[in-house]
Structures are given as C-alpha cells and as structure tokens.
Chains A and B, each alone.
Chain A
Amino acid sequence: DIQMTQSPSSVSASVGDRVTITCRASQGISSWLAWYQQKPGKAPKLLIYAASSLQSGVPSRFSGSGSGTDFTLTISSLQPEDFATYYCQQANSLELTFGGGTKVEIK
C-alpha cells in the first residue's frame, strides 16, 4: 500500500498568517492527491483534488501544489474558520489512503 506522511503534525498560527502543510507519498502518485479539512465532530470536507484543483465553493486562499511524491497545501492568509485538522489522501491506487493529519491551532 502507499503510505502518506504529513508534516508537521500540528502548527500554531495567527489569523492572517501564511500556513504550509506538506504530504509525502511512499511512492509516486503523479498528481492524484486530495486535501480535506475536518472540524471537530464534523465530516471531512474536500478542499483540493488532483493536487491543485480547487473544489467548488472553497475559498481561493487555499491552494495545492506538487506531483510525484511531494505535495503542499497552502493557506495564504489564515482566517478564524480555518482552524481545523487537515488530511491528505492519495487517490492513485485501488487502496485509498490518508495521511495522519495536521492540526492547525490558534497561536
């Protein structure tokens, strides 16, 4: 199976900060990667698919990049509603796998 490793596991940031989260795949997955946002007690929400395509309705301050094994999610200017846990997901194989998550906390 393809292992997904996210870093950092948590980050403390202030409103207005630029935040970058990374995700590394154990083998190449081309651009078949998604990012999700999950708030406590809620289901995950799709933010980015195909590494850099913004899901409909998602604010443009969210962006994704990367291909092969290394990917990033960037929040250009952190808003109060962005404090949450973020997961990457590889979409390349029949066995879909997620990263361990990155919690974005208020500094």
Chain B
Amino acid sequence: QVQLQESGPGLVKPSGTLSLTCAVSGGSISSSNWWSWIRQPPGKGLEWIGEIYHSGSTNYNPSLKSRVTISVDKSKNQFSLKLSSVTAADTAVYYCARNFHYGSGSYFDYWGQGTLVTVSS
C-alpha cells in the first residue's frame, strides 16, 4: 500500500518561499507514475499545482508556473515543492498525490493527508 506524507513549515511570511516535501513509502518513486502537488484554500475547491516524473520531467499549472519548482530525490524516495513570492492567497492545505495513468488520462489514486500552510506575518 502506497503512503504519502507531507512535511514542512506551517507558517510562511508574505513574499517568502513555501517549501514542502512528500515522503513516499510502500512503493518506489521511480515507478512508472507521475507525482503531483494539489492545494485547497480553506473552504474552497481543489487546484492542481504541478507534477514530476522520476526522470525530473515536470508539468506545471500555467497560473503558478512562474513561482513553482517541483523536484525529486530518488535516493530518499521523496519529492518536493517550492512556491516563491507567496501571499495570503497561497494559504491552503497542500496535498501530495500519486498520478495513475489510464489511457490518455491522469488521475490521483493515492493522496497524502495534507498539510495546512498559512501565509502571514
């Protein structure tokens, strides 16, 4: 059973950089899956941030692309998110998830429990 666990600071100052890590257990990050970050502002819907493959290939949400970096550390079986120049609008629960591909579609079959990141001074 694949498990994902997010970790990182719960409070980030405005204009700072949000940094989170997702540790994968019960499976290899080098499997034929992509790995994603998704966020959910309090009381609102879900927004896909971006994804990474173990080779280091990435795809990002165009609305966040200029501020997002997703990286992978195969030796630690984990991947990470950096979001720069944060504002209060970036306050959200951040989830990491595994992409499951079926045909041409990409779906999220395993999720971390989520971690709340608040942007405030």
Interface positions of A (Cβ within 8 A of B): 1, 30-34, 36, 42-46, 49-50, 53, 55, 87, 89, 91-92, 94-101
Number of interchain pairs (Cβ within 8 Å)? 65
Where chain A touches its partner, the secondary structure class is loop
Where chain B touches its partner, the secondary structure class is strand
Q: Mark B14-32, 1 if CB is under 8 A from A, else 0.
A: 0000000000000000000
Given A44-B111, A89-B107, A98-B59 contact (CB < 8 Å)? no
Q: How far is the CA of A45 from the CA of B111 in the complex (A)?
A: 8
Q: How far is the CA of A87 from the CA of B95 in the complex (A)?
A: 15
A50–B45 touching, CB < 8 Å: no
List 10 A–B pairs whose Cβ atoms lie within 8 Å, in order of A's numbering: A34-B107, A36-B108, A44-B95, A45-B111, A49-B100, A49-B102, A95-B61, A98-B46, A98-B47, A100-B45
Interface positions of B (Cβ within 8 A of A): 36, 45-48, 51, 59, 61-62, 95, 97, 100, 102-109, 111-114
Given A1-B62, A92-B104, A94-B59, A46-B46 contact (CB < 8 Å)? no
B48–A96 touching, CB < 8 Å: yes
Determine which of A32, A46, A55, A97 lies in contact with B48 in the assembled complex, contact meaning CB atoms within 8 Å.
A97
B111–A43 touching, CB < 8 Å: yes
Q: How far is the CA of A89 from the CA of B38 in the complex (A)?
A: 12
Q: How far is the CA of A27 from the CA of B2 in the complex (A)?
A: 34
